[in-house]
Structure 1
C-alpha cells in the first residue's frame, strides 16, 4: 500500500467531431499528466465528445466497443503506466445507454462507471447507474463520480462507506457556479474525510462557458490546488495517506 499518490485533474476542451477527433488530445493530455508524475488522470464529463447532447442522435458518438474505439488511449496508458478516466456516452453489451466514466488501465479491459444521478435532458438518453464505482490504485480506493452525483451528499456517503480514499469526479461547471463548485467538493471531502478531485471541462459547451476551477480538496475541506484559468490545463496534487489518517482519527 502506497503512502502517497499523485493525481491529475485534466481540464480538457473537447474538439468538434466526436470520439475520433478527441483521441490525440486525450493522449497529449495524458503525456502532460505523466510529466507531473500522476498515476491517475481524470478527464471531464463526456470529454470524448463534449457536453452537447444533440450529438447523441449520431451513433458514431457512442462507445459500443471501448476496447477497439479507445485503443489509442489504452496504448498510451500501457506505454506510460498511467490510468485514465475519460467521459463518454456508452452502450453496454445489452444495449443499456449510460453516461459514464471509462477507466483505462494498463493490462486490463476498459471499466464502465455509469453516472448515478442523470438529470434534465440526460434522462431522455441515458439509464442511471446504481451507485459509485470504486477502483484500487496503488492501494488507494478511488470512487468515481460524474457531475450531478456530487450535488447529492448520499453519493459521496456511499463511497465513504465503501472505503473510498479519493472521490474523483468528472464534471461540467459553468460561469456563475464557482461558489457551488467549491461548496460541493469541500463539503464532500470534509464530511467523508477523503480527498476530492474535480476535472471540469474547459472552454464552452452547450451549458455555457466553463468556470474552470479544476483541482483537489483535502479531507479538511480546504482546496489544495486549482486551475489558474478556464482553458485547458492539467492540475496535479500529491496526496498523503497520513493526512487521511490524521483527520479520520
Structure 2
C-alpha cells in the first residue's frame, strides 16, 4: 500500500483558536488538491505553544459538538483525509493535557496525551499541564499507528512501547525551538532531532513522520525542518528550515516487508527478558518506580 503523507509545517497564532482553525481548514483544502491522504500538523497546532495562563481558555474536546473539532471532523469526512492535530484537552476532573488527536472519516480514532513534560532550560510545561499516562498504538485504514509529542521521543521507552504494540507508522509532532549551532553552523537542536528520528526509523524498521512548527513566539524561534524517514533510516523528504510549508511524501508500506526480511530486529526482540530486567531494576531502586 502506498500512502501520500502531508507535513503541515506552520506558525500557529498564540491563543487565537479561530485563526488557527481557519489555517487548518485552508491547509486541508490544499492537501486535498494534492491528493494527500494523511495530513500531520505540529504540536499544539490549534493553540500555539507558550500558553501559560491561557491553557484553560483554549482547552477543547475532540468531539463533533466542540466548536473547534466539529469543523475538523467534518473536513476529514468531506475530503477523506486523515488528520493529526495538536490541541489542549481538558478531562472531566479539569486537568489539562498537551494532546494530539487522530481524526478519520468524521471520527476521532485516538488521542495521545504528552507523557514527558520538560521543565529544564527554557521549558516549563510541568507547571501548566498534567502528564499523560498511556502509550498505545491504534488501528487506522493505513495500518497500526502510534503518536508521540516532542519530549516523548527524546526518551527511548515511548517509541519502543509503540513498536512492541504493533505500530508500523510513528507520527511525531513537536514545537521544537532552535538552540545552539554545530560545527557546520546548523542548529544544534535540529541536528539532534534528525539523528533521533533516523535512529528510531532504522532500529524499529518503521516509518517515522515528524512535523515541527515554525515561527517566533515568546522569545522562541521554532525551526521547522519536518521529515519522513523510511525503515532504513533514510529521509524521504525534508521540509525547509524556519519557513511555513506543506510538504508531500508518498511512502510504500511494502518497504516494511523488504526491510524486516533482511533485518529481523522485531522478530528477535526479547520482550520477556526486558520485562524481567525492568522488574528487577525497579525492585532494586530505593525509591521504586520514578
TM-score by length of 2: 0.79
Relative to 1, partners in 2 of residues 1:36 and 1:44: Cα closer, same or farther, differing over 3 Å?
same
RMSD value, Cα? 1.8
Alignment of 1:112-191 (within 5 A): 112-120=111-119, 121-175=124-178, 176=187, 177-191=189-203
Tell me which of 2, 8, 15 is aligned to 1:4: 2
Alignment of 1:99-114 (within 5 A): 99-109=98-108, 111-114=110-113
Q: Name structure 1 gaps, 5 residues minimum.
A: none
Partner of 2:268: none
RCO comparison, higher one (Cα < 8 Å, 6+): 1
Alignment of 1:1-249 (within 5 A): 3-57=1-55, 59-64=56-61, 66-67=63-64, 68-69=66-67, 70-109=69-108, 111-120=110-119, 121-175=124-178, 176=187, 177-206=189-218, 208-249=220-261
Measure, in 1, the Cα distance between the counterparts of 2:191 and 2:176.
Answer: 10
Measure, in 1, the Cα distance between the counterparts of 2:106 and 2:175.
Answer: 30
SS in structure 2 of the partner of residue 210 of structure 1: strand
Measure, in 1, the Cα distance between the counterparts of 2:76 and 2:23.
Answer: 14
Aligned residues: 246
Measure, in 2, the Cα distance between the counterparts of 1:181 and 1:161.
Answer: 22
- In the TM superposition, what is the alpha-carbon distance from 1:109 to its structure 2 partner? 4.0
Indicate the structure (1 or 2) with the bigger Cα radius of gyration.
2
Measure, in 1, the Cα distance between the counterparts of 2:219 and 2:149.
Answer: 16
Q: Name structure 2 gaps, 5 residues minimum.
A: 179-186, 262-290
